[in-house]
Structure 1
Amino acid sequence: MSDAIAWVVATFVTLPIFAFYLIYLVSVKTTKNKRKSIKLAVDTSAILFIIAVYFISYEIWSQSLLWLIITLIIVVAMIFTIIHWKVSEDIQLDKLLKGFWRFNFLLFVFMYLILSFYGLVIRIYLVT
């Protein structure tokens, strides 16, 4: 049983797009609301994309870049807080956190795709 759980977790970390789609499908079937389902899938799979970016970067460069990922997340949070404060002059924490987390999803999906492509190209040219 623990092997099956480990396999599922490893698949979701390795292929977070699959987890995103699976969460979306289950949510659409239960809620019948596509917009809410997309938001739920984004919110829950963002952490998987962050973890996947960490492991892809570790595989490419053979060193931990966790400090860089954490720094990037903190900088994005600071920028979002400043922009939110300038625009609304009052910080609404729930809107701020949702916007920050969803932007991190977009950022890390982009980084996941770029690093995956870069890793494939590097492995192809290093092998040949």
Structure 2
Amino acid sequence: MSSAFAWFIATVVTLPIIGWYLAYIITVKITKKKSYSVRLAADLSLVLFISAVYFISYEIWDQSFLWIILIAFFLVAICFTVVHWKVANDIHFVRLVRGIWRFNFILFFIIYLVLSTYGFVLRLIS
């Protein structure tokens, strides 16, 4: 049983789109709201995309880029906080965290696609 669980976790971390899709399917079956389910699945799968970016970059360059990933995450948070404060003259914490979290999902989803394509092409030509 533990090897099946380990296989499932390894697959979801390696292919976080599967994790996003599973979260989407489960939440749409429960809530019957597709747009809410897309947002909730994105919220739940951000950690999977961050870990996939880490492992893909480690596999491609044989170095840990965790510090760059953390810097990118916190730079987005700082930029969002400053912009939110300038626009609203007040900080609405829940809206701010939700915006930071969802923007980071988009950012790491794009990075995941770019690194996956780069790694695939790199392995084909070498």
Give TM-score, length-normalised by structure 2: 0.98
Give, in whole Å, the separation in 2 of the partners of 1:74 and 1:33: 31
In structure 2, the partner of 1:30 is: 30
Q: Specify the code of the residue in structure 2 equivalent to 1:59.
A: E
Q: Specify the code of the residue in structure 2 equivalent to 1:99.
A: G
Q: What is the aligned-residue identity percentage?
A: 56
Give, in whole Å, the separation in 2 of the partners of 1:122 and 1:35: 36
Q: How does 1:32-111 map to 2 (within 5 A)?
A: 32-111=32-111
SS at structure 2 position matched to 1:118 = helix
CA-to-partner distance for each residue in 1:85-123, whole Å, 9 max, x for gaps? 011010000000000000000000000000000001111
Give, in whole Å, the separation in 2 of the partners of 1:75 and 1:23: 27
Alignment gaps of 5+ in structure 2: none
Give TM-score, length-normalised by structure 1: 0.97
Aligned length: 126
Query: Which stretch has the larger CA shift, 116-125 or 100-109?
Result: 116-125
In structure 1, the partner of 2:16 is: 16
Cα RMSD after superposing both structures: 0.6
Alignment gaps of 5+ in structure 1: none
Q: Specify the code of the residue in structure 1 equivalent to 2:60.
A: I
Q: Specify the code of the residue in structure 2 equivalent to 1:21.
A: Y
